[in-house]
Structure 1
Amino acid sequence: MPISSDQLLDFLKKCRWFAGKARQLTYCAVGQQLSFHTATLWIVEVGYAEGDTEQYQLPVATVPEMPGFSTEQTLIMETDGGYLVDAIYTESFRKALYTHIYTEEGIGHDESRLAFNRGKGLAADDVPEHIVTRVLPVDSSNSALVFGEKYFFKLYRKLFRETNPEVEMVEFITENSSFTQIPAFCGSMTWKRLGQSDITLGMMQRMVEADKDNWVRTGDYLNDFLYAVPNRVFSIQEDVFERVSLLGRRTGEMHRALYSPRAQTSFSPEPFTDDYREFLRHRLGHLLETRYNLLIDKYLTLDEPTKALAWKFMEAKELIDEFSEELLSQDLDSLRIRIHGDYHLGQVLNVHNDFIVIDFEGEPEASISDRKIKHSPLKDVAGMVRSYHYAVSSKVFNSVETEHVETNRLLKVTDRWYKLMKETYLDGYMEAIGWPHPLFKDQNEINSLMLYYLLEKAVYELGYELSYRPDWVKIPLKGIVDVIREIEKMHG
């Protein structure tokens, strides 16, 4: 079906999943076409005045009349015989997709083919002819299909020129461990090309019915604490500690599932190699340089308590450099594994008084290759710890109840709550990991690596807040200053 660049671009700009709307486009065309029953998978190539070319997946089908459920993102163009539409809105496409995952029957030839993989999570008795399908109306960077109200298929729109880390992670955990606190892997669709990297087109998982993610639930728990602050009362209910401890244990169990000495190379544990040390050295150095420059530019716009924290950070530049170099130059006998990579309260769902971990795609701003780098699992732990700091700080500093309370007092109150949650979470984590464990040499190495990853995370956060939420700059700065004080204690 011939389509002009302008027609294709007009359609893409209507799609929520198209990420290039705000950029200057120079090129837009269908690069590859993969036959799939009554549909065709278009691999759309989009070029920009600056930056790399992007690829998007667009399944298309010609139908005599518009699908019953349709949106402005359904119709691509009218044709002589009907309508060219996004095929996900046709039942025939959805049925064929489910059938191929169920049977693992591929399509194509050795040079270019669609491969389908079935996972443990797909029940044997959910045969294709009995499955009811629908499109899930989500505002997302991908598209979501539902099968039998039990399975959720994520159709990846923006494609990466190698396998998606989320699919690898979810499949590995489901197929190789007893950890059940993730939506189980049910299957995947992959584009295999001779002599080139495989490209992940979609993944199916068990559906999870969750009322809230843990960021929202933690905010609910903080309400009682928040209301007590103006009255100089420090109040935390016991079940808050129980929930935080449980999340620590679930995190430890997730990392035990990812620690597999007998696994294939892509998941086997690795030591702290020279290359990895250099990666850490370069990453932190780059983060520090850009954040120092941003902070100097924005310094005069900060309030006095935030300026004090900023000054402490800038004064400690040499101390931070020494700590980083000392840690990365010494022998480190702890191990590295694949980790979640973007672990925070929003990535954890509350389900039946327990937790389900979601979204294993990794750090959004990192390249796909970097997302697959093995790290100490303490990087995930540091991410969650920082998320607790954000939860209490954002609640206390942005609520009507505390708007008349002095900033320094709020900093102290949030610090006390955060440190209690941090200690509770870490205790639960270490309880689940078990001690001793090959992932960690000893407590000294754990302490040093935790400080490093907490520092890296807080410095990363600082760049975002300086650019987009200046009122929140104090939150990552306080996290950085906390690490600086711990480093000073070590050197003292």
Structure 2
Amino acid sequence: MTEFVLAIEWEGFEKDKYVHTVLEDNILPPYIAQCRWFAGKARQIKQLKVKDAVHFDEFIFMTFESKYEEGDSELYLLPLSFVEEGTQEIPAKGILSKASMDEKIGYLVDAIYDVNFRNALFSSVYHKQTYKQSNNDNLVFFNGKAFVAESEVIDSFLPNIDSSNSAMVFGDKYFLKLYRKLFTETNPEAEMVEFITQHSEFRNIPRFAGSITWKRADNAEITFAVMVEVIKSEKDDWSMTGDYLNDFLVAFVDGNFQIKESVFGKVALLAHRTAEMHKALFALRGADTFNAEPFDRQYRRFLHQKMENLLERRYNLLTDNYLRLDEQAQTLAWKFMESKDLILDFVDQVLTRPLLSYRTRIHGDYHLGQVLATENDLVIIDFEGEPESTISERKIKHSPLKDVAGMIRSYHYAVSAKLYNSAETSEIDELQLQRAADRWYKLIKDTYLEEYLSVFGNPHPLFRDNNEINYLLLFHLLEKAVYEIGYEVNYRPSWVKIPLKGIAEVLAEVEKLRR
């Protein structure tokens, strides 16, 4: 049987219906099924549709739409390159099809695997080039403060990272993230990293080095990629915290409650860097999308409605799955459901209570895994925001205490996972484990909050007074823990007690406030 060879031409590719049909029906379905970045593998695909071809040098940024039997469609980015046979070694996972172009035989490949494509990307960032399209769109390459390349020529490679996007490293100096799932707005990560780098002195992020943006004639600006400086890290803070907890676990099994002083130092450092990040974002006033804003009526209604909807979904989920939970989780779930009136009364207060603090852009998906530990410091990464939220929602300004709540919940997860899921503690009474986890968590939480707030001084426009700080922190701790229930019930039922315990602690504080 003769091997199929797809005849392609870049000129007029966007109107080549035959090639589109072959891609949609024969080539894309098996190819994307083995791609980590394609998020629709578990869903029933109704149709794949080639949408756009953005020309760039000798390559094309192709977008395609994935329509599903249920739910919204998604738009994906797949850069394409033609590689002549025998000129480069392309891994099998990068080859879409055997192909011909200009009477040459070769392969149609995902362009990230083509060194010539990567060279062209870097050169275009270096020269800040703009590629005009026939439909009045523009593909715009830009470089920022952290881009200090002396030449447009640089070595590149693809790091072994399993991610929903694609990564390229240039000269061990620059890290380029190519976004695969596209939205018809600028990616929040590109905005956040660029503005913090360009307009503040905060250095504990991978600084902005460049971006690739598709500026369409309809005024939409779609981020294809962002480039930042490479951070040489030892591990992320989740792993480092796990190391600290290993020491704690050994002492605990021997009958001692012991936290090394260096652990408190690292927690305080993270709190300090978090506060500096938030001060930098607040200091960016004057840029339209970063102006600090008050807790106006519209935002209060948004916050209230979102929380009510979330609570309703989680109550229904727990009711449907109650019998799957272990005894302790059932007790905590029952307490959560019994407290519905108390929780709704607490949530209702966001509509009426005085809130004179300000809100700003925030990280939005802040936890220990988003912090890299370098030799002497910490670096905050991944500013894309909450994965399940829309791009518009990720850009909504919140109290920075929403990030703080995310990090505090991450510490709670770290200690709970370590004590409940270690072989060394399998014979220890559950109440004893709970007491130890609670004590560790409280000490770490208090250390983190004390250092974080000390960086701002009192008063500060972001935090008007302690009453507002207490309410907003409890609100976002509750929101985060309720959100976490969804993942745990669906994927790790034995862990659902962790967010439920977090909710119980918030409820205890809410009852104190009410009294």
Q: Same fold (TM over 0.5)?
A: yes
- DSSP-derived class of the 2:176 partner: strand
Deviations 1:83-122 (A, max 9, x none): 1111222222111111111111100147211011111000
- DSSP-derived class of the 2:301 partner: helix
- DSSP-derived class of the 1:128 partner: coil
CA distance in 2, matches of 1:328, 1:229: 45
The alpha-carbon deviation at position 249 of structure 1 amounts to 0.3
- Residues 1:478 and 2:501 aligned together: yes
CA distance in 1, matches of 2:487, 2:48: 31
Which residue of structure 2 aligns with residue 62 of structure 1? 82
CA contact (8 A) 1:66 1:83 kept: no
The alpha-carbon deviation at position 68 of structure 1 amounts to 4.1
CA distance in 2, matches of 1:8, 1:240: 49
- Residues 1:117 and 2:142 aligned together: yes
- 284-293 or 441-450, which moves further after superposition? 284-293
Which residue of structure 2 aligns with residue 411 of structure 1? 434
Question: More relative contact order in 1 or in 2 (CA 8 Å, sep 6+)?
Answer: 1
CA RMSD of aligned residues (A): 1.5
The alpha-carbon deviation at position 34 of structure 1 amounts to 1.5
The alpha-carbon deviation at position 424 of structure 1 amounts to 0.4
- Residues 1:176 and 2:199 aligned together: yes
CA distance in 1, matches of 2:437, 2:87: 52
CA contact (8 A) 1:67 1:89 kept: no
CA contact (8 A) 2:314 2:486 kept: yes
After TM superposition, the structure 1 = structure 2 runs for residues 304-315 of structure 1, keeping only pairs within 5 Å, are 304-315=327-338
Which residue of structure 2 aligns with residue 98 of structure 1? 122
The alpha-carbon deviation at position 71 of structure 1 amounts to 2.4
Which residue of structure 2 aligns with residue 251 of structure 1? 274
- Residues 1:468 and 2:488 aligned together: no
The alpha-carbon deviation at position 63 of structure 1 amounts to 1.9
Amino acid at match of 2:159: L
CA contact (8 A) 2:234 2:375 kept: no
The alpha-carbon deviation at position 49 of structure 1 amounts to 1.3
- DSSP-derived class of the 1:73 partner: helix
CA contact (8 A) 1:305 1:407 kept: no
Distance 1:261 1:180, change over 3 A: closer
Amino acid at match of 1:336: R
Deviations 1:171-201 (A, max 9, x none): 0110010000000100000001112311000
Which residue of structure 2 aligns with residue 454 of structure 1? 477
The alpha-carbon deviation at position 320 of structure 1 amounts to 0.9
CA distance in 1, matches of 2:136, 2:476: 43
- DSSP-derived class of the 2:50 partner: strand
Deviations 1:134-169 (A, max 9, x none): 222322111111111100111111111111001000
Distance 1:156 1:261, change over 3 A: closer
The alpha-carbon deviation at position 69 of structure 1 amounts to 4.7
CA contact (8 A) 2:200 2:283 kept: no
CA distance in 2, matches of 1:407, 1:65: 63
CA contact (8 A) 1:67 1:90 kept: no
CA distance in 1, matches of 2:285, 2:433: 49
After TM superposition, the structure 1 = structure 2 runs for residues 382-397 of structure 1, keeping only pairs within 5 Å, are 382-397=405-420
CA distance in 1, matches of 2:258, 2:41: 47
CA contact (8 A) 1:38 1:92 kept: no
Distance 1:44 1:436, change over 3 A: same
- Residues 1:155 and 2:155 aligned together: no
Which residue of structure 1 aligns with residue 214 of structure 2? 191
* Consecutive unaligned residues in structure 1, runs of 5 or more: none
Which residue of structure 2 aligns with residue 299 of structure 1? 322
Which residue of structure 2 aligns with residue 214 of structure 1? 237
CA distance in 2, matches of 1:414, 1:76: 50
CA distance in 2, matches of 1:15, 1:261: 38
Distance 1:87 1:300, change over 3 A: closer
CA contact (8 A) 1:252 1:432 kept: yes
- 258-267 or 394-403, which moves further after superposition? 258-267
- DSSP-derived class of the 1:18 partner: coil
The alpha-carbon deviation at position 73 of structure 1 amounts to 2.3
CA distance in 1, matches of 2:122, 2:334: 58
Which residue of structure 1 aligns with residue 12 of structure 2? none
Which residue of structure 2 aligns with residue 347 of structure 1? 370
CA distance in 2, matches of 1:489, 1:400: 37
Which residue of structure 2 aligns with residue 53 of structure 1? 73
Which residue of structure 1 aligns with residue 283 of structure 2? 260
Which residue of structure 1 aligns with residue 16 of structure 2? none
Which residue of structure 1 aligns with residue 11 of structure 2? none
Which residue of structure 2 aligns with residue 7 of structure 1? 27
Which residue of structure 2 aligns with residue 337 of structure 1? 360
Which residue of structure 1 aligns with residue 255 of structure 2? 232
Aligned counterpart in structure 2 of residue 280 of structure 1, from 299, 303, 311: 303
CA distance in 1, matches of 2:70, 2:206: 38
CA distance in 2, matches of 1:278, 1:482: 26
Aligned counterpart in structure 1 of residue 108 of structure 2, from 84, 91, 98: 84
Distance 1:15 1:304, change over 3 A: closer
Which residue of structure 1 aligns with residue 42 of structure 2? 22
Which residue of structure 2 aligns with residue 445 of structure 1? 468
* Consecutive unaligned residues in structure 2, runs of 5 or more: 1-7, 9-18
The alpha-carbon deviation at position 261 of structure 1 amounts to 5.9
The alpha-carbon deviation at position 435 of structure 1 amounts to 2.3
Aligned counterpart in structure 1 of residue 512 of structure 2, from 460, 466, 489: 489
CA distance in 1, matches of 2:89, 2:250: 46
CA distance in 1, matches of 2:231, 2:89: 23
Distance 1:25 1:308, change over 3 A: closer
CA contact (8 A) 1:229 1:402 kept: no
CA contact (8 A) 1:170 1:184 kept: yes
Amino acid at match of 1:412: R
Amino acid at match of 1:122: F
Amino acid at match of 1:26: K
The alpha-carbon deviation at position 296 of structure 1 amounts to 2.0
CA contact (8 A) 2:238 2:414 kept: yes
- DSSP-derived class of the 1:373 partner: coil
CA distance in 1, matches of 2:459, 2:159: 45
Amino acid at match of 1:89: Y
CA distance in 2, matches of 1:143, 1:293: 37
CA distance in 2, matches of 1:44, 1:190: 17
Distance 1:300 1:122, change over 3 A: same
CA distance in 1, matches of 2:188, 2:375: 28
Aligned counterpart in structure 1 of residue 62 of structure 2, from 27, 39, 42: 42
CA distance in 1, matches of 2:285, 2:363: 20
Deviations 1:366-396 (A, max 9, x none): 0111000000000000000000000000000
